[in-house]
Structure 1
Amino acid sequence: MQGPHAPLLASASASAADMPAASAPSPSAAPRAYDVAVIGSGPAAGTVVSGLKGSGKTVAAIDRRAFGGTCALRGCNPKKVLLNAAKAVDFARRADGLLVNGGAGVGLDWPRLHAFQESFTEPVPPSRLEQFRDAGADCFAGAARFTGPDTLVVESYPGPADPDDRDWEEPGVTLRFNQAVIAVGSQPAPLNVPGEEFVIRSDDFLAAADLPGRVVIVGGGYIGLEFAHALLRADREVTIVETGQHLLSPFDAQLSERLADRTRALGARFECRAKLTGIERAADGSFVATAEREDGKALRIPCDMVVHGAGRVPAVADLDCDAAGIDWDERGIAVDDRLLSRSHPRAFAAGDCAGLGHPMLTPVAEAHGEAVLRALLTGEPTAPDVEALPSAVFTEPEMAAVGLTVEQAEDRGVPFRLIEEDLGTKGALRKLCEPCAGYRMLLEPNGGTLLGVHLLGPGAAELINLFAVAMRHGLTLRDLAAVPLVYPSLAAEFVKDAAEKA
């Protein structure tokens, strides 16, 4: 749409940085009316906007950052480029003298790797804008803030215009909506320590063209450990400060400890049961991360960078949901199991910001988006299908899981039978020169239906999908073993060994 009534259209060249707010809306400006206002542009929002194409509904899509969402621009996809490089370096090094010569000398060129990584992220904003516009949505660049139960203001910025969008709205355009979809995702949790301004968030880590020699990572979850594995293969010194007893607490504890041992062998230092207390700047421009252990011992860790890997929280605080009568708290937007606001009959939340405690994963966001889309099209809200969704830690070796852990089954009183094995000496793993591999599986005691599958080893992130399909369809290990699988392969190795124990 061109001319004086064109919406404030998001720039295809907008950076991934936060877009600053501008002036308040003019009281004389008439609100723009839309059937659906979608706040966000990640996988949940994308599913909704694209699915409304041809529905006859008018749609506004708003994002305060470059269109595309965290996963595509600042999360999963750029991170996977780094980890693929780490995987290649690690394989060459561990295969040195066995499969290849000179593997020990293979290194990771971070600046060149970063340039390759950007080739995946730079096309995302214009592509997502094209996707949304093709679906018929008007795309607004700016921070959305609710001003009433059916209005919001887009606190826009006079940023660089898309060449195809020469006319821009005045800052503070107001939108009136019939239904709202909040899909703003998440952001790093505040650390609340002195010197927090020196901490590098995951966005900045992935945007860095190069990284210094000594890095402290706050948090031993999957983000922290994946960053550590990339840094270690780039020959950086890494220290992880984790408040818990062990790393990767949502995953199987025994396999997590094996992966921790493998990570230590790469040179990582772990300080578990320790809480970051501050960051000090040294006279030479470096830093000292301070922490305190549970036993009261104080730690001072010299470093050149401190990276935030201590979890994420829903990014809802700046939406002024109270003005719309939309309840929220630190867990996100208060919704029922159908993703409908508990306090606003025409507002939905989807993805990381929905306060249901679902894992902050792209497949979850997509499932949420599909559920909200069905509600918008049919008028009948339904719960999203998030059962038996696999997840993975893209370290090397990888760890992956679907279903219940032992601890979860015990806490819920679910009876199970556990089978487990160290596969490090098996043929398929020896051929990859990787001794750190194994599985733990929870089976229904009588029929043998899979309740939980936990894998450690090369290719685990791909292999877990096979077990997720089995769980979705109620298959047993014997059912899987009855299917002819490629031999030799990791799938055949894992399935055959587990089926024999089942």
Structure 2
Amino acid sequence: MAEFDYDLFVIGAGSGGVRASRIAAGHGARAAVAEEFRVGGTCVIRGCVPKKLLVYASQFAEELHDTAKLGWTIGQKSFDWAALRDFVASDVDRLERAYTSTLDNNKVDHFHERATIAGPNTVRLASGREISAKYILVAVGAWPVMPEFPGNEHAITSNEVFHLENFPKRVVIQGAGYIALEFAGIFNALGAHVTVVNRSDKILRSYDESLTDRLLTMMRARGVEFRFNAPIESIIKQSDGSLCVNTKGFLPIEADAVLVATGRKPKTPGLGLENAGIELGPNGQIPVDEYNATSCPSIYAVGDVTDRVQLTPVAIREGHAFADTVFGGKPRTIAYDHIPSAVFSQPPLAGVGLTEAAARAAGHDIKIYTSDFRPMKNMFATRAERGFYKLIVDTATDKVIGVHMIGPDAPEILQAVAIAVKAGLTKADFDDTVALHPSMAEELVLMR
């Protein structure tokens, strides 16, 4: 008889956990996954995928206004939130089925209940059953942070926003990170009055200020109101069901919905890590080494629960590397430099490599190249928004060490140019590349 019930037991069936179990099974491991909610994890069920669908829908609202210039005559227009909400939910259902099929096709057992750690080689299911495993992988992700203030029970997070019964005409959003600004753009474009309140005076702190300053100006021009240094102090539910939002230093705001998007913390409370002697980090994260190993030799962790880089593609790579290392005999680590990222705001922005401020702080002698242009697509728009691309070049090596852009399709363009930055290509390599005309992307090879 086998010493353990499974070679690998994964807690959490998100992107990292599903990838790890699938690859481990491919290496011959007997693998199982436990998931207390829905297979697919944050990105698929309540994160980037359904949110991107809402972004597409809201962008269409803007394009409808520009149809006359394109020669189209459109009749009466109306927006049905319930239809959009239910379509997005149906696509989430489809994706969950696809992820579940992936587990089945790779002969990975799955348990639809909460699992916690009972010991170095034991997990305990909510039903009380205990299962032994040679290795345990924790991939439970992160959870939205809800600040403490009177009336916070009347606020929602990004978990609940996809299930609103009615479309809110007045929305207050606390936070100025990518989740907050993406939903601000969605609700604004769909017709709501949006007020963003933030405890500091900055938005998108990890992005290049040339882009964030421009985005702030554009969002304000689109009608999004911003209040800085104004965290929510209380929310009062009024007799008509509306909300009165009190913020520091400003008059109250009347709202139909309040979305709090002030960050995410690793979902480790109650996980039982102390039963394996694992101490958590200051943000509740599970400390791991470069091979995703914890202080307990039989337990590993990947994804947002480690609080290294909270991005789905990173979790997938970590899960894959873990499986190759532990079960495939091919030890692998993940490089965390040159990770491209994007904000699907309106307009979107994206970046890879060092920002100008980070490059200078790191001691690089740099040269900055920029292109400020009006995208051809925007010629049809009522707003004269301009695109902006920025290259950061190390003068000693001529390598492009950062690329940052804001404008239509910026994330799609950035993914390709991220390959060049990762490969260490030089400004001369960019200059030697023939432009693809007419396109926005050609600006990347025309800066002089």
TM-score bracket, normalised by the shorter chain, equals over 0.9
Once the two structures are superposed, the pairs formed by residues 144-293 of structure 1 within 5 Å of their partners are 144-155=115-126, 171-292=127-248
Matched, 1:33 2:9: no
How far residue 274 of structure 1 moved from its aligned partner, in angstroms, is 1.6
Separation in 1, partners of 2:148, 2:163: 24
Alignment deviations for residues 101-127 of structure 1 (CA, whole Å, 9 cap, x no partner): 567975543222122212310122332
Among 45, 64, 75, the alignment partner of 1:92 is: 64
How far residue 75 of structure 1 moved from its aligned partner, in angstroms, is 0.7
Question: For structure 1, which segment, 44-53 or 409-418, has the greater mean C-alpha deviation from structure 2 after superposition?
Answer: 409-418
Counterpart residue number, 1:302:
254
Once the two structures are superposed, the pairs formed by residues 20-59 of structure 1 within 5 Å of their partners are 33-59=5-31
Partner SS for 1:202: coil
Among 442, 445, 463, the alignment partner of 2:395 is: 445
Alignment deviations for residues 333-379 of structure 1 (CA, whole Å, 9 cap, x no partner): 011222211x2112111111114x32x11111112112211222245
Among 318, 339, 354, the alignment partner of 2:306 is: 354
Among 399, 405, 409, the alignment partner of 2:349 is: 399
How far residue 404 of structure 1 moved from its aligned partner, in angstroms, is 0.9
Gaps of 5+ in 2: none
Distance verdict in 2 for CA 1:321–1:134, change over 3 Å: same
How far residue 212 of structure 1 moved from its aligned partner, in angstroms, is 1.6
Q: Is the 8 A contact 1:400 1:455 kept in 2?
A: yes
Alignment deviations for residues 30-72 of structure 1 (CA, whole Å, 9 cap, x no partner): x972111111111111211111234221112011111111111
Distance verdict in 2 for CA 1:351–1:310, change over 3 Å: same
Question: For structure 1, which segment, 363-372 or 460-469, has the greater mean C-alpha deviation from structure 2 after superposition?
Answer: 363-372
Q: Is the 8 A contact 1:262 1:436 kept in 2?
A: no
Separation in 2, partners of 1:104, 1:191: 45
Separation in 2, partners of 1:32, 1:383: 27
Partner SS for 1:128: helix
Among 479, 482, 496, the alignment partner of 2:429 is: 479
Matched, 1:322 2:274: yes
Alignment deviations for residues 212-243 of structure 1 (CA, whole Å, 9 cap, x no partner): 21111111111111111111111111111112
Question: For structure 1, which segment, 397-406 or 205-214, has the greater mean C-alpha deviation from structure 2 after superposition?
Answer: 205-214
Separation in 1, partners of 2:419, 2:380: 27
Q: Is the 8 A contact 2:19 2:316 kept in 1?
A: yes
Once the two structures are superposed, the pairs formed by residues 62-81 of structure 1 within 5 Å of their partners are 62-81=34-53
Alignment deviations for residues 190-219 of structure 1 (CA, whole Å, 9 cap, x no partner): 311121211111121112253221111111
Alignment deviations for residues 390-444 of structure 1 (CA, whole Å, 9 cap, x no partner): 11111221101111112222332233222223213x6565466752310222111
How far residue 489 of structure 1 moved from its aligned partner, in angstroms, is 1.3
Q: Is the 8 A contact 1:428 1:490 kept in 2?
A: no
The share of aligned pairs that are identical, in percent, is 30
Distance verdict in 2 for CA 1:239–1:223, change over 3 Å: same
Separation in 2, partners of 1:415, 1:375: 39
Distance verdict in 2 for CA 1:455–1:331, change over 3 Å: farther
Separation in 1, partners of 2:367, 2:74: 42
Distance verdict in 2 for CA 1:454–1:469, change over 3 Å: same
1:420 partner amino acid: T
Counterpart residue number, 2:419:
469
2:83 partner amino acid: R
Partner SS for 1:489: coil
Separation in 1, partners of 2:47, 2:242: 27
Separation in 2, partners of 1:184, 1:405: 31
Among 408, 419, 436, the alignment partner of 2:386 is: 436
Matched, 1:423 2:395: no
Separation in 1, partners of 2:189, 2:76: 11
Counterpart residue number, 1:334:
287
Q: Is the 8 A contact 2:25 2:31 kept in 1?
A: no
Counterpart residue number, 2:363:
413
Alpha-carbon RMSD:
2.2
Partner SS for 1:328: coil
Partner SS for 2:160: helix
Separation in 2, partners of 1:333, 1:411: 29
Q: Is the 8 A contact 1:184 1:353 kept in 2?
A: yes
Counterpart residue number, 2:446:
497
Count, aligned residues: 444
Matched, 1:125 2:96: yes
Separation in 2, partners of 1:434, 1:187: 38
1:349 partner amino acid: A
TM-score w.r.t. length of structure 2: 0.93
Separation in 2, partners of 1:255, 1:274: 23
